[in-house]
Structures are given as C-alpha cells and as structure tokens.
Amino acid sequence: MDRSHFSPETQMLGYGYEPALSEGSVKCPIFQTSTFVFHSAEEGKSFFEMAYGRPGHEGEVPGLIYSRINNPGMEILEERLKLWDGGEACAAFSSGMSAIATTLFTFLSPGDVLLYSNPVYGGTHKFINNILTQFGIEVIGFRAGQSKKEVEEILVQSGHAGKLKMIYVETPANPTNDLIDIALCSEIAKKYSDVEKNVLVAVDNTYMGPLWQHPLKHGADLVLYSATKYIGGHSDVIAGAAVGSGELISKIKKTRTFFGTMIDPHTSWLLLRSLETLKLRMEAAEMNAEKVADFLSAHPKVEKIYYLGYTGKNNPVQQDIYEKQYLSNGAMLSFDILGGEKQAFTFLNNLRHIKLAVSLGGTESLAEHPATMTHVDIPDEEKELYHINPKMIRLSIGVENYQDLIWDISQALEKVQAPLAKPAEFI
C-alpha cells in the first residue's frame, strides 16, 4: 500500500515498522542488544563490506551488525523523524550537542571557516569557540538581525571569506526571538561555493521543533535538533538528530560510528512514543503561549515581550522573514519585567505551578532567567548587544490549561514590587 501521501502525524503511527518481523507486536519492541547474529559467515562478510563502503554491493540494504552502527529502533526513529522536515535521511544522536558536534566535525577541517549566528545555545557557543578552534578551524560570528550586507562585510573583513565552509544558524534566536533569513544564508553559501567546495547551511531548529519551521525548504542543507526539547517533549530524555540529504547524512553517520555518539535503544523507543503526540503537544503549547503573551502584554509590570507573534511590533524589519519562514508563533517567549534582577527573581521565586528550570519544549511550563542562567557565560557587552538583560525572564509554555498558567503568572507578578518611583516632591 502506498502511504506516501499520508501526513507526518499519521506516519508516526506505523511508518518504517513491520509488525510481522516482531511477533505481530503492534508497537516496535525495544531492541536492547549490542550485537546481531549473522546467518552465515558469508553474510557477515558482505555486511562488513557494505558498512565500509566496499564496491560490489550497490543497491543492497546493509544488514544489522552492531548497535553503534545501527539498531532497528534507531533506524525506525530516523525514518519517521525525517518526514516532518521533508528530508531524505536522518541520523539520531545521544544528545543535541552530540548531533551538533558530530555534524560540525564531519564537514569542517583545519583551515576552514565557520560563520555562525549569535546568540546560539550556550553549549554550541562553547563548542564552536573552545573546541573547533583547537583544530585550526576559524570561527566568525554575526548577530541575528543583521542584514545580508552586514553579514557579508563581517566575512570579507576577516580576510578569509574564500575559506568559508559552513554557515551555522539558530533562528529564532534564544531568548530574544530575533530572526535570521535562511534563504539569505543559502545565497551567501552559494556565492562562496565552487566546484571544489560546497558551502553548507546548517540550522539548529530546536526552538521551533520539527513542526513550525522547515529550514530545508528555505535552502538549508542540514537541520539539527536537540530532541531533548519538543521531539522528546516530556523533559525525560536527552537526545538529538540531524536531517538532510541522503548524501550528507550518510557522511554524518560515518563520523557518528567512530565517535560513538548514536542514540541508545531505550531512548529511541521513548522518542518513537513521543513522536506519536508531537503535533498534539506542540499545538496545545502554541495556543497556550498566545494566551499567555496576550495576558502579559496588558500587564503594567511587564515592559516588553519577545514573542514571535509580536515580530511586526518589535522588529518591523524582520516581518518579511516571519511571514515566509514561520508556520506558527511557537511556544517560547521572554519578557522584561519592570525593574531588574531583583524583580525578576521575586517573580521566579513565587511561581507555584510553573517550574524554575532551564530547558524547553516539554509538556510542563518552565521559567528561567537567561542573564544569570542559560546565557550567563556571554560577556556583558555582548549580552547588551543581544538584548539579554537582568530583567528578562524566559518562559517555555507547556500543555496545561492556559487559565491556570495565567493564574500562576498573575499571582507571581503581584508579589513583585515595582522599582521605587521618584519621590512625590520631585514630580
């Protein structure tokens, strides 16, 4: 039966799994095994030849050898995950960071230039600036919100534009929801590509999950995920993924085999379960986020809201990116509370339901303070540049009843004393 016209949410219930191969089990079992039995020595020989890319096996499907290379659960997860982004292939990883690190190490060599956007996830920033640079890779940052002309100027001024090998972006930027035009990155990549080198564009799409932004459709070559966030969706696993063309993903998988950064069988199985409700969870969260944003925008103790739905108001120049690139306003928003760190902390300490924790994209709502937590490592002058200030609070909105979320936010805001106004005699 041809099911290729089915939507991803339907495919999550069966695609890539054949019950007859597993005693008729409706659900894919957990293949908790490190190694697989060959039918014969000849078969083992041919599986190894295929795994090492020896000629003579064109068109054959490689068999299972060892779980660091492949495992049925991992394979089915990858088949399903790629569908949301419309990719040809997917590689699943033990964490978002291992997906990012393995991918960057696959395509970057000493002497290459990596152009990346700021702010990026803290772990990514450290990896790019502290690890890649140890291997002679030159890293050049630009800021989300800068124009194509400004970005190209930064690249040219480095004096190494000709060595550009990859553009790595995170959009919307965390925690400000600033936007980067993926198609423009792809134009820059094409301009610096030649017969010898194909400059790649990689997008960390964790913030939008696989539902609300499809970077491949805008010219990106690779989409990266921390599956710990919306894909896992229950704040109970650490995992990651890369999606792209068959050719690029097969190169990434070769590196993964030797780094050993693949996902484990149990986590694969948990993610297969998570994927069945991905759309339901994300849609519930996005509706809640809209209600919370509306509530905050009318609150006298709230100065500014960083929400994708307010792009036109906050950043009119980014409105066209918003319209062409985003399918939703998402469920991540930040706001500046009237005052500073003291007021922000009072708010966070008084939340009764929403948990004070980093991470995002889970069923439960979470709140945190970027300036002293997730983004503490960014130098102060850069924090200012990215608008990450002490009065900012980041919210990851979950699937609760929105009225309960608003009740919680409202009562915590009530506990906050606005900074002292000027004494009456000076007015």
Ligand X SMILES: *Cc1c(COP(=O)(O)O)cnc(C)c1O
Question: φ, ψ for residue 89 (rounded to 5)?
Answer: -155, 165
Residue from the set 204, 264, 368, 408 that interacts with ligand X by CB under 6 A? 204
Question: Tokens 């990596």 — which residue?
Answer: 114
Nearest-approach distance from CB 204 to ligand X, in angstroms: 5
Stretch in the footprint of ligand X (CB under 6 A) among 81-89, 221-229, 241-249, 331-339: 221-229
Question: Using the rule CB under 6 A, is 229 a contact of ligand X?
Answer: yes
Asked whether 46 and 57 are in contact (CB, 8 A), the reply is yes
Question: Using the rule CB under 6 A, is 230 a contact of ligand X?
Answer: no
Nearest-approach distance from CB 91 to ligand X, in angstroms: 14
Asked whether 405 and 292 are in contact (CB, 8 A), the reply is yes
Phi-psi category of residue 345: left, alpha or beta, with phi > 0 → left and psi -120 to 50 → alpha: alpha
d(CA 354, CA 336): 17
Q: Give the bridge partners for 355, in sequence order.
A: 366
Choice between 239 and 337, CB closer to ligand X: 239
Position of minimal CB gap to ligand X: 96
d(CA 31, CA 16): 15
Per residue in 298-313, is it b (16+ CB within 10 Å) or e — as a string?
eeebbebbbbbbbbee
Question: Using the rule CB under 6 A, is 357 a contact of ligand X?
Answer: no
Choice between 97 and 413, CB closer to ligand X: 97
Question: Using the rule CB under 6 A, is 121 a contact of ligand X?
Answer: yes
Asked whether 47 and 38 are in contact (CB, 8 A), the reply is yes
Question: Using the rule CB under 6 A, is 206 a contact of ligand X?
Answer: yes
d(CA 176, CA 167): 20
38 to 77: interface string for ligand X, x by CB under 6 A: ----------------------------------------
> 396 in helix, strand or coil?
strand
Q: Packing angle between helix 96-107 and helix 246-259, nearest 10 degrees?
A: 110
Asked whether 346 and 363 are in contact (CB, 8 A), the reply is no
d(CA 225, CA 240): 5
Interaction residues for ligand X, span 80-119 (CB under 6 A): 95-97
Choice between 145 and 339, CB closer to ligand X: 145
Nearest-approach distance from CB 94 to ligand X, in angstroms: 8
Choice between 46 and 228, CB closer to ligand X: 228
Question: Using the rule CB under 6 A, is 238 a contact of ligand X?
Answer: yes
Residue from the set 46, 70, 117, 228 that interacts with ligand X by CB under 6 A? 228
User: What one-letter code names the amino acid at 230?
Assistant: Y
Choice between 211 and 413, CB closer to ligand X: 211
Question: Using the rule CB under 6 A, is 123 a contact of ligand X?
Answer: yes
Interaction residues for ligand X, span 315-344 (CB under 6 A): none
Burial class (CB in 10 A: 0-12, 13-18, 19+), 35: exposed
159 to 198: interface string for ligand X, x by CB under 6 A: -----------x---x------------------------
Question: Using the rule CB under 6 A, is 125 a contact of ligand X?
Answer: no
Residues that bind ligand X (CB under 6 A): 95-97, 121, 123-124, 170, 174, 204, 206-207, 226, 228-229, 238, 240
